[in-house]
């Protein structure tokens, strides 16, 4: 048994009064964040002027300053839980730390700017509770939150309730949030999970992800890209034009904004659903999963493919594989970013010098293999797992770890050309279409 931190998210079905209370808590968190940011900026200006003042940079310091002046700043503070104001100050403290670490080179990724004020119409409505009455009721249809009370859920909470009844889970915090005028609660839970050392399956699958197809597996299966954002573009354009014609502050503008938010939420749900189904299938049905280490951040800088790459969610696919392979006892191997999986022949190991993106079929000049380029890349990725095991690159317990390979094109397998695997197109609505590989 191992202890992991896991989130359980449920949709809420609050009453109109509870909706106002939920919105009030999120607004309180936003007010505390903006007040703390204004205080930090004022103290920094005083320091630049030569005054010796303390700048509250951490959550305890910000909370102490807030408790000293909250009666003057927000006389209505008692209407909401104290956790609402602590949530806003905690977000500010994290933002200040991220900015400091980014300036000092201690944070990876793009540079992080100085925190900005949160606007009611722009910021995400969210509030986090860490203390108080945070419960999942036994009827599995209601949850209890501090100061908000018992709220009905739109779906059953049995997934979390079973673990709480068995004593294998402990709730650490609860976060309420609003997406497209629908409220959600997310429980941060400390779960005791049985992490199997292995599932007894020795199958290896190479996964070549992309835009034309979401994933092409070395077994010959092609997973269709849902293209959720692309299919929603017509509705999004129409609603955005309609929103631009509405008067600011009018009821019709608010109604159009809600309709636009629902389209965006549905797009996100369609993409998330496909990624979860694919990653769960790979982690449960195969012993080893091999993926590429793609430079997604660099790919989205290209204006021609940025929207399509972002719509596919390639980075999210690898993130989900990272923890699901640990949960289900499989292994994740990540190929090097510069490994030429598409340019290498999967039969004889010959490496092609150049392969244009428009060339969808790989043709080997040595053995004469002619194969779909994505399927050829997936087969090459599957072979990497064999070299990882033979050369001793993996650690004693490599379940789910990102085992980066160092094969910069030097692997050349001398084999006889094999017959192509029948190519299947797999759509998650259970429609399977078979056709011969090219």
**292 catalytically annotated:** yes
Distance CA 341, CA 406 (A): 13
Angle between helices 59-73 and 82-103 (to 10 degrees): 130
Distance CA 103, CA 114 (A): 10
Task: Answer yes or no: are the C-beta atoms of 214 and 226 closer than 8 Å.
Answer: yes
Among 65, 125, 292, 372, the one annotated catalytic: 292
Task: Answer yes or no: are the C-beta atoms of 156 and 141 closer than 8 Å.
Answer: yes
Distance CA 202, CA 199 (A): 9
Distance CA 310, CA 351 (A): 30
Task: Answer yes or no: are the C-beta atoms of 375 and 350 closer than 8 Å.
Answer: no
Task: Answer yes or no: are the C-beta atoms of 320 and 278 closer than 8 Å.
Answer: no
For the beta sheet containing 432-435, the strands, ordered from the edge strand earlier in sequence to the opposite edge, are 403-404, 331-335, 288-292, 204-209, 215-217, 221-223, 423-426, 432-435
**83 catalytically annotated:** no
The SS3 assignment for 2 reads strand
Distance CA 133, CA 239 (A): 41
Buried (b) or exposed (e) across 348-385, using 16+ Cβ within 10 A?
bbeebeebeeeeeebebeeeebebbbbbbbbbbbbbbb
Task: Answer yes or no: are the C-beta atoms of 40 and 53 closer than 8 Å.
Answer: no
Q: How many Å from the N-terminal Cα to the C-terminal Cα in the chain?
A: 47
Half-sphere exposure of 372 (CA within 13 A, CB side): 23
Distance CA 362, CA 421 (A): 15
Distance CA 252, CA 126 (A): 25
**54 catalytically annotated:** no
- The torsion of the CA quartet 253, 255, 260, 264, rounded to 10 degrees, works out to 140
DSSP 231-299: HHHHHHHHHHHHHHHSPTT-HHHHHHHHHHHHHHHHHHHHHHHHHHHHHHHHHHH-SEEEEE---HHHH
Among 125, 208, 311, 372, the one annotated catalytic: 208
Among 374, 394, 416, 427, the one annotated catalytic: 374
- Residues carrying an active site annotation: 208, 292, 374
């Amino acid at each position: 048994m191992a202890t992991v931190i896991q989130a359980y998210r449920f949709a809420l079905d609050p009453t109109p009064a509870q909706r106002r209370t939920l919105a009030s808590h999120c607004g309180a968190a936003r007010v505390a964040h903006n007040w703390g940011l204004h205080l930090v900026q004022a103290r920094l200006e005083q320091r630049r002027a030569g005054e010796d003042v303390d700048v509250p940079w951490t959550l305890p310091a910000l909370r102490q300053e807030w408790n000293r002046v909250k009666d003057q700043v927000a006389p209505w503070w008692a209407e909401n839980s104290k956790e609402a104001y602590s949530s806003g100050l905690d977000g500010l403290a994290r933002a200040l730390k991220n900015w400091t670490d980014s300036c000092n080179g201690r944070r990876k990724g793009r540079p992080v700017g100085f925190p900005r004020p949160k606007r009611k119409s722009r910021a995400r409505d969210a509030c986090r509770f860490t203390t108080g009455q945070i419960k999942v009721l036994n009827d599995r249809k209601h949850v209890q939150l501090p100061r908000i009370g018992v709220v009905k859920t739109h779906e059953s909470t049995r997934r979390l309730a079973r673990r709480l009844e068995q004593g294998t889970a402990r709730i650490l915090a609860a976060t309420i949030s609003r997406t497209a005028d629908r409220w959600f609660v997310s429980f941060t839970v400390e779960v005791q999970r049985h992490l199997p050392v292995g599932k007894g399956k020795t199958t290896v699958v190479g996964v070549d992800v992309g835009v034309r197809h979401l994933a092409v597996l070395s077994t010959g299966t092609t997973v269709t890209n849902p293209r959720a954002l692309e299919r929603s573009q017509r509705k999004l354009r129409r609603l955005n034009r309609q929103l631009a014609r509405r008067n600011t502050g009018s009821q019709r503008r608010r109604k159009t904004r809600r309709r636009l938010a629902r389209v965006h939420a549905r797009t996100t749900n369609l993409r998330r659903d496909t990624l979860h189904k694919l990653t769960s299938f790979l982690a449960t049905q195969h012993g080893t999963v091999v993926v590429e280490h793609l430079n997604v951040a660099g790919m989205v800088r290209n204006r021609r493919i940025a929207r399509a790459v972002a719509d596919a969610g390639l980075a999210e696919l690898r993130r989900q594989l990272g923890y699901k392979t640990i949960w289900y006892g499989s292994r994740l191997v990540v190929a090097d970013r510069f490994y030429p999986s598409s340019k290498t022949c999967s039969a004889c190991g010959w490496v092609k010098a150049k392969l244009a993106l428009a060339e969808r079929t790989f043709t080997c000049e040595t053995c004469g293999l002619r194969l779909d380029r994505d399927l050829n890349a997936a087969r090459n990725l599957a072979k990497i797992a064999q070299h990882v095991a033979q050369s001793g690159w993996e650690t004693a317990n490599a379940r789910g770890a990102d085992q980066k390979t160092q094969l910069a094109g030097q692997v050349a397998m001398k084999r006889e050309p094999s017959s192509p695997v029948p190519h299947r197109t797999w759509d998650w609505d259970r429609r399977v279409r078979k056709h011969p590989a090219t």
